[in-house]
Structure 1
Amino acid sequence: MKKVHVILAFFLLVSLVLSGCSSSNSNSTSDSGSDSDVVTLKFMGWEASPLETEAVKKGLKAFMDKNPNIKVEYTPVPQTNYSSKLLTMLAGDAAPDVFFLNTEDYRTFQGKDVLLDLTEYFKAEYSLDDFIPSAAQVMEIDGVIAGVSSCTVSPVLYYNKDLFDKAGVPYPPSDPNNAWTWDEFVEVAKKLTIKDGDKVEQYGVFGFENNYSTITEYLSNGGNPFNEDLTSTTYQTPEVQEVLQSVLDLRENYGVAPEASVLEKVGMKASQMLQTGKIAMLAEGSWALQELASMNFPVGVAPLPKFKEAYTHGQAHVHSVSAKTKHPEEAWKLVSFLSSEEYQIDLISEGLWMPNRQSLYTEEGIAKWYNEEVHPEGFKEMVSYFKDAKVYPNALISNNKVNSIITEELDKFYYGGESVEVVTENIDRRSAEELAR
């Protein structure tokens, strides 16, 4: 009997020791989390600028502080060939869990079944009505949401106030209702173009030969680059052809705009050309304000000139999730955070983005992000320009190869001497063939 008591005592002691160890481990996991409890998400985006990358990293730190069980490994990569690289990764087994996706690629990728359907996650937290119309239109594809809007951006007109002051020329209006007409804009560009003999020391404007900006002018002229059912481009319409010829005339007929190669020869980016007075005005995306505001010169921003009505278009990259992710719940948490007011506000305040939420366009909402040190005088008058922007037409097509066709053909018009009639016929014919595939 004594032997039995000894054996029972021994097992009781072992049980207590094991229980103590278990309790100790449990407390450790609860306080700090063990490696096995932490989910690692791979997140990939492009690096538009070091400033943007740092801003994204700052936001991710805030997310991880709130979600200690999720570790996000962010990999920014060059924008060149980003889409083809990402598609290859998604088709294989090396895909990131969450990633930036260009709106021009979004519908193409969704059609290849490489994106996780986020519709139910989205509906549990949001309504499309929470978002401005252009952002809502980009996200929804036949009732499915496979990417969530990050913000919105639009093309605008930047200008160097010092150069306007020196020339005695009034600044362009901030209010879209009073935007310059195209003819008024051309006259100002002439006044701001300065020559020394045959050499141009200062150009009036740069940036309109980028189709991203020119699309705004198509819309302004009552045109559109695509037909209503998105089965073909409509570059042969008079409204689009007029804009294209007017943009080429800036350089060819009026001499107020440089060819893109000028920037390459002087080794400057367009923002540096504006800062140093090589150009007086710049048509560029609203995201450029973050960099321009940090360059220590008086920069202004205004709506682009109009042909008939002042319009801009709106869009921005979406955040999507790989259909092969092993962590859909955690991936959704990250995607939701990357669209939240909390994440957006800092980046909007720095001038990188504009809000995609209706709530951030109210008087109270604007107060959350407006920054006098970044947003130039008169910027509040432009708020409706972004909120009411038409959706970026190129974001709605299901075949991203069309965008390459447009760029290729327009290069022949701007730099190869092809007529507007020949180039626009080629765009419409080739695009229709591609969209019919």
Structure 2
Amino acid sequence: MKKWIVVILLFSLAGFSFLYYLPLSSESPDKEKPVKQIELTFLRNLGNQAFNQAYEEVIAAFEAAHPHIKINMQSMHWGNEYELRLRTELAAGNHPDIMAIDSPNLALYANSGSLLSIDSYMKEEGNIEDIPKGVLNGLTYKDEIYLAPIVESSIALFYNMNLFREAGIPFPSGDPNHPMTWDEVLEAAKKINNPAKGIIGIDPAQGFNVGEGPAYFKMPILWQFGANVISPDGTTADGYINSKEALEALQFYQDLYRKHGVAAVEMPPAPFENDKLGMTILGSWAISELQQTPGFVLGEDYGIAPLPRGENQVVPNGGWALGISAKTKHRDEAWEFVKFATGYEGAKIFVDITGDLPARYSVAKDFPELNEYPKNIFVQQDQNYSKNRPVTPAYPVISEAIKELFEAVGKNGKDVGIAANEAAKKINNGLKDIK
């Protein structure tokens, strides 16, 4: 009997203790433990007002959906200033968690160990089937994806309808699958060209500028004639940039200036808008710029046709894409932002504000204007006929060599064979330096 009394007393005490301590252990049951906020630094190129606003709204939408992640966005001008700042920061060990990279420079950063491979992330969660293969190739280095795209770029033939009418030339087709040949473009340029009136037939590849523009606009001419800049394995330019096909392309380009006189090294101000230039090659972004010109109306004063073709129909692709630092301490969180910004939701916000070409098929389908003339030309070219610039750590050398090559043959009239051999030598030296 005494044993049972002791047992009952022990259970009673245990129950009392449980009830006594219960309020302490379950105090404020509705309160959750605060989630630690993570701040990610995002370094990007500065663009126009719409471009900057698009990034701000993408970040706002992301942070609303991910309250524990704060994006600290910093921006610099897109040219040499941005590249210099980024490379300086990386060299000093100040790695942003996320960075915008101009896709042709991808291999430079990946090869130096600055970029994290996002191959597994992209293949598991990035819905890469929604991205054109040609675009994806330009984001891949040594068979691994390093960058994710939001928007893309493309170029086309813009023609002055007033000058076409005066010369009695039929307007080119707006069908993305049926571009004019370069020979047809040359014949039209000859009919339009009128030095006595200061009218120039064509600006074939955006004159002679600095930066990445020359390589972006001029490299396709080599591709269209069946040439490449370097070998598929990226080891040499000899036999490629100075191949028979490349020399034919360079000779055609030079003849526009030297033999036929339908292109001019020196251009008057706004020649296309002022009815002094019959045809020019411009990017998709030029549509909004030309809309700012009073009295120069799309469909009345100028039209847009697919980029001319040679043996091949091919256009350049590439643009600013997002990558993750190899030194970030928050890989998964950085990927969450990259996935959102470059995925359907983020890209749709971006395209809606900027009017740029989306990198994803699904986003392009959801904008009616991208499926109608003239923007459908850029979209379909990018999806079906685009090619990326060479993915190699030596790309900055290639870009400069292409610029100098076309200046030599077009601007200075240098023998195309000699100029091409010099370009091959310069590129090969760059490739050796990387090794």
Q: TM-score range by the shorter chain?
A: 0.7 to 0.9
Given that residues 51 and 354 in structure 2 are in contact (C-alpha distance below 8 angstroms), is that contact kept between their aligned partners in structure 1? no
Report Cα offsets for 1:33-89 as digits up to 9, x if no partner.
8xxx43332222223433323333333333233333333233332222233331221
> 1:419 corresponds to which residue?
415
The aligned counterpart of 1:5 is none
Q: Which residue of 1 aligns with 2:267?
A: 262
Q: Pick which of 130-139 and 186-195 moved more.
A: 186-195
Give the equivalent residue in structure 1 for 2:255.
249
Quote the residue 2:184 is aligned against: 184
Residue 337 of structure 1, aligned match among 340, 360, 382? 340
2:171 is matched with 171
CA contact (8 A) 1:174 1:302 kept: yes
Q: Please state whether the residue corresponding to 2:328 is helix, strand or coil.
A: coil
**Shift in Å, 1:110:** 0.4
Give the structure 2 partner of residue 137 of structure 1: 137
Closer, same or farther in 2 for the Cα pair 1:63/1:257, shift >3 Å?
farther
**Cα distance change, pair 112–157 in 1 and its aligned pair in 2 (3 A):** same
Q: In structure 1, what is the equivalent of residue 392 of structure 2?
A: 397
Please name the residue that 1:149 is paired with.
149
- Residue 212 of structure 1 is matched in structure 2 by 216
Report deviation, 1:220.
2.0
Which is bigger in relative contact order (C-alpha 8 A, separation at least 6)?
A: 2
Counterpart Cα distance in 2 of 1:242 and 1:339: 39
Q: Which residue of 2 aligns with 1:63?
A: 62
1:429 aligns with 2:431: no
* Structure-2 change in CA distance of 1:163 and 1:62 (3 Å): farther
- Alignment CA distance shift 1:292-1:370 (3 Å): farther
- Which residue number corresponds to residue 357 of structure 2? 354
CA distance in 1, matches of 2:231, 2:413: 27
Taking a change above 3 Å as real, the CA distance of residues 380 and 114 of structure 1, as seen in their structure-2 partners, is closer
Residue number in structure 1 paired with 2:13: none
Secondary structure of the 1:262 match is coil
The 1:205/1:143 distance shift into structure 2, 3 A limit, reads closer
| 3-state SS of paired residue (1:76) | strand
Look up the match of 1:319: 322
Partners of 2:41 and 2:96 within 8 A in 1: yes
Rate the CA distance shift 1:96–1:289 in 2: closer, same or farther, 3 A: farther
- Structure 2 counterpart of 1:235, which letter? I
Name the TM-score, length of structure 1 as normaliser.
0.79
Structure 1: gaps (5+ residues): 1-11, 267-271
Rounded to whole Å, the distance in 1 between the matches of 2:250 and 2:156 is 18
Q: Deviations over 1:233-269 (max 9, x none)?
A: 212112111212222222333333332x536xx4xxx
1:93 aligns with 2:93: yes
Q: 2:281 is matched by which residue type in structure 1?
A: A
| 1:24-39 matches, cutoff 5 A | 37-39=36-38
The Cα offsets for residues 383-436 of structure 1, whole Å up to 9 and x where unpaired, read as: 442212243132x22322232233234333333342211110011122123213
SS at match of 1:387: helix
Instruction: Provide the rounded CA distance (Å) in 2 between the counterparts of 1:160 and 1:64.
Output: 46
Distance (whole Å) between structure 1 residues aligned to residue 83 and residue 325 of structure 2: 14
Is the 1:83–1:105 Cα contact (8 Å) retained in structure 2?
no
Partner Cα distance (2:86, 2:338) in 1: 17
Quick one: distance in 2 between partners of 1:58 and 1:421? 51
Q: How many residues align?
A: 396
The one-letter code of the counterpart of 1:398 is P
CA pair 279-251 structure 1, distance change in 2 beyond 3 A: same
CA contact (8 A) 1:64 1:72 kept: yes
CA contact (8 A) 2:152 2:356 kept: yes
Moved over 6 A (4+): none
Relative distance call for 1:144 and 1:67 in structure 2 (3 A) is: same
Is the deviation greater in 396-405 or in 343-352?
Answer: 343-352
Report whether the alignment pairs 1:274 with 2:280.
Answer: no
Q: Which amino acid aligns with 2:58?
A: G
Which stretch of structure 1 is more off in the superposition, 182-191 or 381-390?
Answer: 381-390
Deviation at 1:113, TM superposition (A): 0.6
User: Residue 320 of structure 1: SS of its match in structure 2?
Assistant: strand
In structure 2, distance between residues paired with 1:56 and 1:166: 45
Match of 1:80 in 2: 79
**Contact 2:200/2:263 (<8 A) preserved:** no
- 1:298-336 alpha-carbon deviations (Å, 9 max, x no partner): 153221112223222322332111222233222111111
Gap change, CA 1:289 and 1:62, over 3 Å in 2: farther
The whole-number CA distance in structure 2 between the counterparts of 1:350 and 1:168 is 39
Structure 1 residues 181 and 417, CA, compared in 2 at 3 Å: closer, same or farther? Answer: closer
Alpha-carbon separation, structure 2, partners of 1:420 and 1:46: 36
Letter of the structure 1 residue corresponding to residue 360 of structure 2? R
C-alpha contact 2:199 2:278 (8 A) present in aligned 1: no
The alpha-carbon distance between structure 1 residues 205 and 434, as it changes in their structure 2 partners (threshold 3 A), is closer
User: Normalising to structure 2: TM-score of the pair?
Assistant: 0.79
**Cα deviations across residues 367-390 of structure 1 (Å, max 9, x unaligned)?**
x12327xx7635436644221224
Secondary structure at the residue paired with 1:343?
helix
Contact 2:151 2:356 in 1 (8 A): yes
Structural RMSD (CA): 3.2
SS at match of 2:267: helix
What SS is found at the alignment partner of 2:393?
coil
Change in CA separation of 1:292 and 1:63 when aligned onto 2, cut-off 3 Å: farther
Is the 1:175–1:382 Cα contact (8 Å) retained in structure 2? no
Q: In structure 1, how many angstroms separate the alpha carbons of the residues matched to 2:71 and 2:125?
A: 22
Name the one with the larger helix percent. 1
Q: For the structure 1 residues 205 and 323, does the alpha-carbon distance in structure 2 shift closer, same or farther, using more than 3 Å as the test?
A: same
Using the alignment, how far apart are the partners of 1:73 and 1:430 within structure 2?
40
